[in-house]
Amino acid sequence: MASWLLTALASIFVFGIVIFIHELGHFLTAKFSGITVEEFAIGMGPTLFRFKRKDTVYAIRLLPIGGFVSMEGEDEESDDEGSFTKAPVGNRILVTVAGACMNLILGFLVLIVVVSMESSIVSRTVAEFYPNASTQQHGLQVGDTILAVNGRRCFVANDVSYEFARTQEGTADLTVLRNGEKITLEDVVFETAEQDGQQYLVIDFKVYPIEKTVVNVLKEAGNWTLSLARMVILSFTDLVTGRIAVNNLSGPVGIVSAIGQASSLGLRPLLLLLALITINLGIFNLLPVPALDGGRLVFLILEAIRRKPIQQKYEIAVNAAGFVLLIGLMIFATFNDITKLLP
């Protein structure tokens, strides 16, 4: 199969399932809350296929880069009994956060599959050292389970590698579990190497495998979900604080490129990327930014505190401004992606 066709099919699969699950969360909770759903659409742009059942139009649209659930009174004033604004504020909060929650649940389910595909689960417990290992000389021992690096908890073995990659100096503080007791090893010295002008720590030890049982798989999938969620938050924080250059920001083109690379490596890397994308979407949507679910959530929380709604015209205006900013950010990210692809 041609690489471009494989990339196209894999991208449609990833974007399709992530968007569908997100919008399904909004749709189901809206229906449960008695809110009239006017349209449930997957994709954006011209309609390819549609049918109507009761009060709702179900549609597939041309561009697989988004989707929406259009509810009565969502973005305009309405006195209809099935209007979004007529529902209790608690129900509207549930409708608002349901999409992100469904994305996180999808990530957990996908990670169950990913972990199940592994021959064994990688632990964080040191099994042996390479000859002349620097970390062993500075306090790390066989049998130590790494709990945290530089004060950040490690949920899975990948977290250890990720935190080592974020460590710009040749030392790291390790919190380990040794004989049932938490011990902090300060300034553990690592060998360093350089790649593409950046230094990174060399991991000079091996870890034990964990037996793959149902309980261990579920636990590891849960830990992976927490790990990826925190990785998204840390990456966003690094971007805002300038630790990561803004030109590293990727948009749809960059995501499609990453999907193509993952799909060429096999099903497991593609599923792992799917889990990262859906968890990323869930967390990003809850940011308190206008035009995102998190922006609407702020208005609903304020309404619950004040015991009266903020005038809808103000919310609509703020969301419109936020939408313009998000479009600008997407254009900038897409420009970055295209620049990276050029020779």
- Confidence (pLDDT) at 73: 79
Q: Is the pLDDT of residue 267 over 70?
A: yes
Token match 């997957």: residue?
42
> Are the CB atoms for 232 and 279 separated by under 8 Å?
yes
Predicted local distance difference test score (pLDDT) of residue 343: 54
> What's the pLDDT score for residue 338?
59
Pick the catalytic residue: 23, 163, 220, 315? 23
Per-residue pLDDT averaged across 70-92, rounded?
84
Taking the CA atoms of residue 319, residue 321, residue 325 and residue 327 in that order, the dihedral angle to the nearest 10 degrees is 70
Please report how many Cα atoms fall inside a 13 Å half-sphere around the Cα of residue 60, on the Cβ side.
5
Q: What's the mean per-residue pLDDT of the chain?
A: 84
What's the CA angle centered on 219, arms 218 and 224, to 5 degrees? 95
Please give the pLDDT value at position 113. 95
Residues above pLDDT 70, as percent of the chain: 86
**Torsion-angle region of 119 (φ positive above 0: left; ψ -120 to 50: alpha; else: beta):** alpha
Mean pLDDT of the region 59-82: 82
pLDDT higher than 60, residue 148: yes
Identify the pLDDT of residue 199: 72
Higher pLDDT, 94 or 243: 94
Average of per-residue pLDDT across 121-149? 92
Please tell me the CATH superfamily of domain 121-210, with its number. Answer: PDZ domain (2.30.42.10)
Q: For residue range 274-333, what is the model confidence (pLDDT) as tens digits? A: 999 999 889 988 888 777 888 889 889 988 998 887 776 777 677 666 666 666 666 655
H/E stretch holding 216 reads helix 214-241
The model's pLDDT over 159-178, given as tens digits with 9 standing for 90+, comes to 998 888 877 778 889 999 99
Based on the residue annotation, tell me whether 23 is a catalytic residue of this protein. yes
- So what's the pLDDT on residue 342? 52
3-state secondary structure string across 8-39:
HHHHHHHHHHHHHHHHHHHHHHHHHCCCCEEE
Q: What are the boundaries of each domain within the chain?
A: 3-117+256-341, 121-210
Residue 108 has pLDDT above 80, yes or no: yes
How distant is the alpha carbon of residue 9 from its chain centre?
Answer: 21
Token representation of residue 206: 């091996």
Residue 185 has a pLDDT of 92
- CA-CA-CA-CA dihedral for 240, 242, 246, 250, to nearest 10: -60
Instruction: State mean pLDDT over 329-340.
Output: 59
**How crowded is residue 171: how many other Cβ atoms within 10 Å of its Cβ?**
16
Check: CB of residue 24 under 8 Å from CB of residue 41.
no
∠ CA(203), CA(209), CA(213), 5° rounding? Answer: 145
The Cβ of residue 21 has, within 10 Å, a number of other Cβ atoms equal to 21
**What pLDDT, on a 0 to 100 scale, did the predictor assign at position 292?**
81
* 248 in Cβ contact with 340 (< 8 Å): no
Are the C-beta atoms of 251 and 336 separated by less than 8 Å? yes
Tens of pLDDT, residue by residue over 189-212, are 888 877 766 777 888 899 999 989
Count of Cβ atoms closer than 10 Å to residue 342 Cβ: 5
Q: Which of 67-71, 91-95, 290-294, 323-327 has the lowest mean pLDDT?
A: 323-327
In this predicted structure, what is the pLDDT of residue 283? 92
Stretch (H or E) spanning 277: helix 267-285
Q: Which residue has the higher pLDDT, 185 or 243?
A: 185
Question: Do 25 and 96 form a contact (C-beta atoms < 8 A)?
Answer: no
pLDDT of residue 254: 62
Q: What is the pLDDT of residue 232?
A: 84
**Closest by alpha carbon to 249, among 174, 334, 131?**
334
Contact 33, 87 (CB under 8 A): yes
Mean pLDDT across the stretch 261-276? 85
Give dist(CA 108, CA 217) in Å, integer: 11
Mean pLDDT of 220-229: 93
More confident residue, 292 or 93: 93
pLDDT surpassing 80 at residue 260: no
188 strand-pairing partners? 172
| DSSP 3-state of 76 | coil
Q: What pLDDT, on the 0 to 100 scale, is given for residue 249?
A: 60
The residue type of 328 is G
Question: Which pLDDT does position 40 carry in this prediction?
Answer: 93
